Amino acid sequence: MAHAHTEPPAPVALRVKAIESLLVEKGLVDPAALDELVDLFENRLGPRNGARVVARAWTDPAYRQRLLADGTSAIAELGFSGAQGEHMIVLENTDRVHNVVVCTLCSCYPWPVLGLPPVWYKSAPYRARVVMEPRAVLAEFGLEVPDEVEVRVWDSNAELRYLVLPQRPPGTEHLSEAELAELVTRDSMIGTGQPRRPGQAAGAEGPA
């Protein structure tokens, strides 16, 4: 199914809402359980796929090359593919370049590697402001990008979805691939955050 770079058609959204209301009303689902399910895909389960891709790239130089050359097929090597991830481009952060991803028109997002987009990603202020004043927006996420690092903003669309390959944190030479994956945050793969450092507790993501 092609994604037309628009919000879901209103009738579909309305039908989903109607079904949800009915299920809640009949006592068949608990609204809190639904919220929990959304949170699972948005914050916990979804982004773990992307974290595995990043950790593999950090530990396997040949994989990293394949990932940067053809994101879609390299991601599919790990078993992640499907709707909203048919054409993936992986953006490598370096000492000189920091990449950040947005969808200025709606909420295009790489579902197979990141799950569902967080609320702020879909918000009008993020979509408008990250293009005009990316450093100010990133600062609100607690991410100060040094002046000498160029910030590049990438606009997702129906054809292309982006995954940021963050820099491997220092002091992680001794960690296994699985341990490295634990350090990869969702926001670090959107470009609004950095991976955690070893020993740094998992905190809330998103803007402060």
Residue 5 makes contact with Fe ion by CB under 5 A: yes
Residue 122 makes contact with Fe ion by CB under 5 A: no
Instruction: Compute the half-sphere exposure of residue 26: CA atoms within 13 Å on the CB side of its CA.
Output: 8
Cα–Cα distance measured from residue 37 to residue 45, given in angstroms and rounded to the nearest whole number = 10
The answer to whether 103 is a known catalytic residue is yes
CB of 7 to Fe ion, least distance (A): 9
- DSSP per-residue codes, 127-156: HHHHHH-HHHHHHHTT----TTSEEEEEE-
Candidates 44-52, 108-116, 162-170, 191-199: pick the segment binding Fe ion (CB under 5 A).
108-116
CB of 19 to Fe ion, least distance (A): 24
Say if residues 176 and 104 touch (Cβ distance below 8 Å): no
What track of x and - describes contact with Fe ion for positions 86 through 105 (by CB under 5 A)? -----------------x-x
Cα–Cα distance measured from residue 29 to residue 112, given in angstroms and rounded to the nearest whole number = 26
The answer to whether 106 is a known catalytic residue is yes
Cα–Cα distance measured from residue 154 to residue 3, given in angstroms and rounded to the nearest whole number = 18
Candidates 1-9, 50-58, 130-138, 176-184: pick the segment binding Fe ion (CB under 5 A).
1-9
Nearer to Fe ion, 3 or 48 (CB): 3
CB of 83 to Fe ion, least distance (A): 14
**3-class SS at 119?**
helix
What is the 8-class DSSP label of residue 42? Answer: I
Nearer to Fe ion, 5 or 135 (CB): 5
Residue 108 makes contact with Fe ion by CB under 5 A: yes
Q: Where are the beta strands (DSSP E) in 75-149?
A: 88-92, 97-102
Interface contacts to Fe ion, rule CB under 5 A: 5, 103, 105-106, 108
